[in-house]
Amino acid sequence: MPAPTTHDPVIRVDHLRKTYGRTVAVADVSLTVGRGEIVGVLGRNGAGKTTTVEMIAGLRERDGGTVSVLGLDPERDGAALRERVGLQLQESALPARITVREAVEEYACFYDHPLDPDDLLRDLGLLDKAGTRYAALSGGQKQRLSIALALVGDPEIAILDELTTGLDPQARRDTWDVVEAVRRRGVTIVLVTHFMEEAEHLCDRVVLVDAGRVVAQGTPAEVAAQVGAEQTLTFRPSIPLDAHVLRVLGSVSAVEDAGADVRVRGTGNVVQDVMVALADAGVRPHDLRVHRSTLEDAFVRLTGVGPEADAPATTPSEV
């Protein structure tokens, strides 16, 4: 699938490929990320998301394809890129006895033009935890510290991998606020996630990866629409309803009897059209529910499995 052109791309990946022995971790991934965007890389566990971003970050060598980050090749110019790209990784930690402030101040001095550690801690709501040791932090606080360390070098791009995995809903929403605040600084963000709600909430564009390949990309709404822009209205009519009244509407594709309920499927302005037709017929729709296909529907349809399902290692899609 050709990657859509984006103004001023800061990351350009073409036909990226990585194999481990006979297992294909990444078969063929192409994507671009424009400056200032939040782009989500979505996929079930083992789909090749993390391997992809690790190659973008220069932590792994690719077997094929090209990667350009800020005009540089991560494999050749790794040192220069580490100065300009901040990473928050899975399965990484800090020494148990280091305090929040010590960690941020230490990481700050690895960079040529770091942010002020105190400002950063204040922005991330960690200032009152500055003296706390890493081991004593909650999951959400550890994640915020991890984001702080990814940002302390004032990077142009931040790559955040499974940012909110393992966090409770409140901590997850707090973390989303932090990511939006980071974007307002002008930082381009690549977000790896398997939470569709997170992607819909945060991402300008998403890239859906399955078995090492890009299966869909676009805005969350565009990707959701790829599995059908259908909407479903379900309601209980106040008086018996002649289905013909609705079937004649151009935007309605099906009217189904669902026990006491009526289910209407359609596209476009189907919701307004049905409401007007019901009003004309003197019918009140009780208990009305409208369902629009979501990113999660697209995910399930395109990858053939629910996003939360733990998948074993990617099956070789080509050997």
Minimum CB separation of residue 96 from other proteins in Å reads 8
- Give the bridge partners for 208, in sequence order: 42, 216
Q: Does 107 interact with other proteins (rule: CB under 8 A)?
A: yes
Minimum CB separation of residue 123 from other proteins in Å reads 20
Site for other proteins in 142-181 (CB under 8 A): 149, 153
Q: Does 116 interact with other proteins (rule: CB under 8 A)?
A: no
Q: Does 27 interact with other proteins (rule: CB under 8 A)?
A: no
Q: Does 92 interact with other proteins (rule: CB under 8 A)?
A: yes
Q: Distance between CA 186 and CA 180 in Å, rounded?
A: 10
Minimum CB separation of residue 58 from other proteins in Å reads 9
Minimum CB separation of residue 82 from other proteins in Å reads 5
Q: In Å, what is the CA distance from 63 to each residue of 25, 68, 272, 313?
A: 11, 15, 52, 19
Spatial CA neighbour of 43 closest among 172, 157, 146, 162? 162
Instruction: For residue 79, give every residue at least 6 positions away whose Cβ sits within 8 Å of its Cβ, in sequence order, or none.
Output: none
Greatest CA separation for the chain: 73
HSE at residue 309, side-chain half, CA atoms within 13 A, is 11
Minimum CB separation of residue 102 from other proteins in Å reads 6
According to CB under 8 A, which one of 4, 64, 73, 93 is a site residue for other proteins? 93
Q: Does 110 interact with other proteins (rule: CB under 8 A)?
A: yes
Stretch that binds other proteins, among 28-36, 63-71, 100-108, 309-317 (CB under 8 A): 100-108
**CB nearer to other proteins: pick between 139 and 250:** 139
Q: Does 97 interact with other proteins (rule: CB under 8 A)?
A: yes
- Helix extents (H) in the chain: 49-56, 78-84, 100-108, 117-123, 139-151, 169-184, 196-202, 220-225, 244-247, 270-280, 295-303
The contact mask relative to other proteins for 43-72 (x = CB under 8 A, - = no) is --------------x-x-------------
Spatial CA neighbour of 153 closest among 189, 101, 106, 97? 106
According to CB under 8 A, which one of 109, 239, 248, 319 is a site residue for other proteins? 109
Stretch that binds other proteins, among 23-31, 85-93, 117-125, 239-247 (CB under 8 A): 85-93
Spatial CA neighbour of 198 closest among 163, 157, 147, 151? 163
Minimum CB separation of residue 318 from other proteins in Å reads 28
**CB nearer to other proteins: pick between 109 and 248:** 109
Q: Does 87 interact with other proteins (rule: CB under 8 A)?
A: yes
Q: Does 102 interact with other proteins (rule: CB under 8 A)?
A: yes
| Rg of the chain, C-alpha, whole Å | 23
Spatial CA neighbour of 24 closest among 174, 160, 212? 212
CB atoms within 10 A of CB 61: 10
CB atoms within 10 A of CB 114: 17
Site for other proteins in 194-223 (CB under 8 A): none
86 touches 153 (CB < 8 A): yes
Binding site for other proteins (CB under 8 A): 57, 59, 79, 82-83, 86-87, 89, 91-98, 102, 105-107, 109-112, 114, 149, 153
